Structure 1
């Protein structure tokens, strides 16, 4: 089976050529920088929510923002969080695709519906209290998780939650700590686009021809120009 992660679905939507080269030719884009501070915030939040998960109680931020949910004590939660080793998995037997993604958290409300939860951390002059236009990728991320969990038989609410932690960079002193302002931001997901996208990316992978260069993709443009310059240099040397 071909493994397709949640991030690879996003890559296909951004650039089918880069997606094809990544999956079929193992030619990957240069890796980005690791977000170690963000990962530290994720780890600490998971520890906090896990204590309330074990106790069956609400986290204080859920009380503060009047969220009808507690951390879900689902037996698969640990595996579903491990995006590299396991994650939430759906095996599309018809297309021979192994589709997966790792969630940050899962909450359950009084109706027995599950809410997908993602932790985000940033630093700004003012706290993030709503989703901006540039967060389209975050929204798709949530919708893929909702779709995967539904494929695993869960009753999933359309309402997902971002726990958004904004580091305050306006303070006068560091003193070996950053003060964070945390907000819960609800998002109404719609996963209706995913099935067609899975069908389209499967067709892309099944085609023996590499997709055409995407003029809006900075990676396609960069490597296209680099190749052109190398060809020019080689031809110049021959002359």
Structure 2
């Protein structure tokens, strides 16, 4: 049976192989949790913000330190497809398994593309904050290369967190631009591991999976 993956669904494999297996093979999904709407609203505004600078062939203030080494991806129609959660950048392997990812933005440096992803958070960055998005960036670059595009061996995370409120009530956000080395081999490893797990028997849960722990405790009382 062919599977459809995304960076977020593949992250479940790292969290708990059993939850991942049940999700895809049995349709048993983790309970939905409340998802704050603010990040989605920020994402929409940021895309419009960057698009306005692209239309003027300029870089926004957040990227001025790049000294015009890059430009914003100028194919607005294609970027709209790549941003769409139901379309995105896609690739299908010889077994029919599909992996799809929706990017926030793309930079250009000569003939090569660079992934730019926005992140909104409530607090300043910690030393290890960026590493949690490594797999996501690797998968995006994997997909771009599978579609015939050249990419640089790095990507960018652009973090926004609230800094202060001006006297007129306007919120001011602090930004941090973090360069991340990417590894397409890591994305390939994740994809291959996902197929291997799903084609096998139901695996053991991870040691720290609270969902599986809760189910196991309930079963003890049956």
Q: Is the CA contact (8 Å cut-off) linking 1:59 and 1:70 kept in structure 2?
A: no
Q: Does 1:186 align with 2:179?
A: yes
Q: Distance in 2 between matches of 1:26 and 1:177?
A: 45
Q: Report the count of equivalent residues.
A: 220
Q: How is 1:163-182 mapped onto 2 (pairs within 5 angstroms)? A: 163-168=158-163, 176-182=169-175
Equivalent position to 1:206, from 171, 196, 199: 199
The aligned residue for residue 143 of structure 1 is: 138
Where do 1:214-229 residues align within 5 Å? Answer: 214-229=206-221
Instruction: Determine whether 1:12 maps to 2:13.
Output: yes
Quote how far apart the aligned CAs of 1:201 are: 1.5
Pair 1:155 & 2:155 matched: no
Please name the residue that 2:106 is paired with.
Answer: 106
Superposition CA RMSD, Å: 2.0
Aligned equivalents of 1:174, 1:34: Cα separation in 2: 30
- Which aligned segments of 4 or more residues in structure 1 are displaced greater than 6 angstroms? none
Partners in 1 of 2:56 and 2:203 — Cα distance? 52
Write the mapping of 1:39-58 to structure 2, written as runs, cut at 5 A. Answer: 39-58=40-59
Q: Compute the displacement of 1:226 (Å).
A: 1.9
Distance 1:153 1:118, change over 3 A: same
Structure 1 segments unaligned to the other structure (5+ residues): 232-239
Normalised by the size of structure 2, how large is the TM-score?
0.90
1:211 to 1:187, Cα distance in 2 relative to 1, 3 A: same
Query: Distance between the aligned counterparts of 1:87 and 1:227, measured in 2?
Result: 40
TM-score (norm: length of structure 1): 0.84
Task: Please say if residues 123 and 168 of structure 1, whose CA atoms lie closer than 8 Å, have aligned partners that are also in contact.
Answer: no
Contact 2:130 2:178 survives alignment (8 Å): no
Q: In 1, Cα distance between the equivalents of 2:33 and 2:197?
A: 25
Q: Deviations over 1:154-212 (max 9, x none)?
A: 1111121111111026x5x88654221123211111221222322221122122x3212
Larger radius of gyration: 1
| Alpha-carbon separation, structure 2, partners of 1:34 and 1:154 | 34
Q: Structure 2: where are the runs of 5+ without partners?
A: none
